[in-house]
A and B are shown apart, each in its own frame.
Chain A
Amino acid sequence: MRCSRRDFLKQSAAGVMAAAMPAATFAFLTPAEAKAAVGSPKVRWAFLVDTEKCTGCGLCVQACKTENEIPWDAPVSRTWVERYVVTKDGQTHIDSPNAGRDGFISSEIRGEEIDPEDIEKAFFVPKLCNQCDNPPCVQVCPVGATYKTDDGVVLVDRKWCIGCGYCIMACPYGVRFFHPVVKTAEKCNFCYHRITAGKQAACVQACPFEARRMGDLRDPDDPVTKIITTERVQVLKDEYGTKPHVFYLGLDEKVR
């Protein structure tokens, strides 16, 4: 067998490279592992609302307002609870007195008493910021004061916000409002200071019925992620293409 110097060098270089290759190169990755390895190793927060479990106690709104220093009597809130009463004549009665801050302790809706005999169905729906993947509120900000963090939460830079209100109009969910004390745009941020410190969001912690839960979509073993990926969940206003990350179980078609 003849071996030129060129061939000898070529083959020994290939041999050295093959020997240097770690065994991990040939390991087979599951799609979740591959995604975690290529993409950001960080979390992607998602929220799960089980409307079947909500009783309209409003303890979540109370906790949110206190935790996030939203003036108690101002008609604004980062989260709120809506009551839907569908009557047999096909009408839907919706209200959310004081954002549901004090719960629902009267059957009167907008000054109207509905005969229990006429009620077809009635339920409560908690709402909050959807932390969209394509947040329209961020697109319209003229100064870069609102943005999406790498873990998927949309935040407002209070020092940078000029209070123009574009984002408040752009949000299709009506989640944003003007903070009456700070004088900037304000919104739910999944209690960013709590979730990044390993605590639960204030509303999640306050809910006695586990109607509100949070999880990390990048962790396939997260119980909330398992529900979102394997059960029949719905999002609000999917047709807007905002890719909301608040998922609802048991959502009724009357909910807008």
Chain B
Amino acid sequence: MKNHVLRPLWLAIAVVAMVLIARVFLVPEDFGVHGESFTYNYYRLSNVQEWKDFPAKYQGRERCARCHDEQSENNAASKHASIQCENCHGPGAGHPKKVKQLAIDGSRELCLRCHQSLPYPSSQRAALPAIDGATHMKKKECRKCHDPHMPDLEDA
């Protein structure tokens, strides 16, 4: 074969070889097929652990109850029993050591998420006690009259 054919061929082979050599150094050892299929299970295995180590923010009401037993008991006896503490009090990660006080959401908008009246008879929303936020005591925070841990005015 003539030189002008061979020269680019050698060059192409050299480029491929360099890519293959670079690959050995750049691709981590745990990168490969981990599972049954190349299509769905071709990945870097250590990434699974990286996701497992992602920090959790929400701790759950059981942890809150360890110290705040009185509030937890009150809430558990009320109609708000199914609501997690952290839905209103904010995520409890780092509390109480790093975060002394959690930022409580006492806004009207939070209560209205469930208690704003919407004309949807076929939805579960209609089964909840509801008001029209635009007319019902519109300047006041709900918690000024209703205790969120004991929401019935009659029981308070």
Q: Give the interface of A toward B (CB within 8 A).
A: 52-59, 62-63, 66-68, 85, 102-107, 116, 119, 121-124, 134-135, 138-139, 144-150, 155, 157-160, 189, 192-194, 196-197, 199-200, 202, 205-206, 208-210
Interface residues of B in 79-126 (CB under 8 A from A): 82-84, 86-87, 90-91, 109, 112-114, 116, 118-125
Q: What 6 A-B pairs have minimum CB-CB distances, sorted nearest first? A: A103-B113, A116-B119, A147-B43, A122-B120, A193-B54, A57-B113
**For the complex, what is the distance from the CA of A124 to the CA of B116, rounded to whole Å?**
15
Let me know if B52 and A208 touch, CB within 8 A: no
Between A and B, 24 residue pairs with Cβ closer than 8 Å are A55-B124, A56-B123, A67-B58, A103-B113, A104-B118, A107-B119, A119-B119, A121-B122, A122-B118, A122-B119, A122-B122, A124-B125, A146-B43, A149-B35, A155-B48, A159-B50, A160-B47, A189-B51, A192-B52, A192-B54, A202-B57, A205-B84, A206-B84, A209-B124
Let me know if A138 and B39 touch, CB within 8 A: yes
When distances are taken between beta carbons in the complex, the residues of chain B under 8 Å from A210 are: 82
Given pairs A66-B91, A134-B40, A147-B43, 13 additional interface contacts (CB within 8 A): A54-B123, A57-B113, A104-B118, A119-B119, A123-B122, A148-B40, A155-B51, A157-B50, A160-B47, A192-B52, A194-B56, A202-B58, A205-B60
Let me know if A139 and B58 touch, CB within 8 A: no
What's the dominant secondary structure at chain B's contact region? loop
Let me know if B113 and A105 touch, CB within 8 A: yes
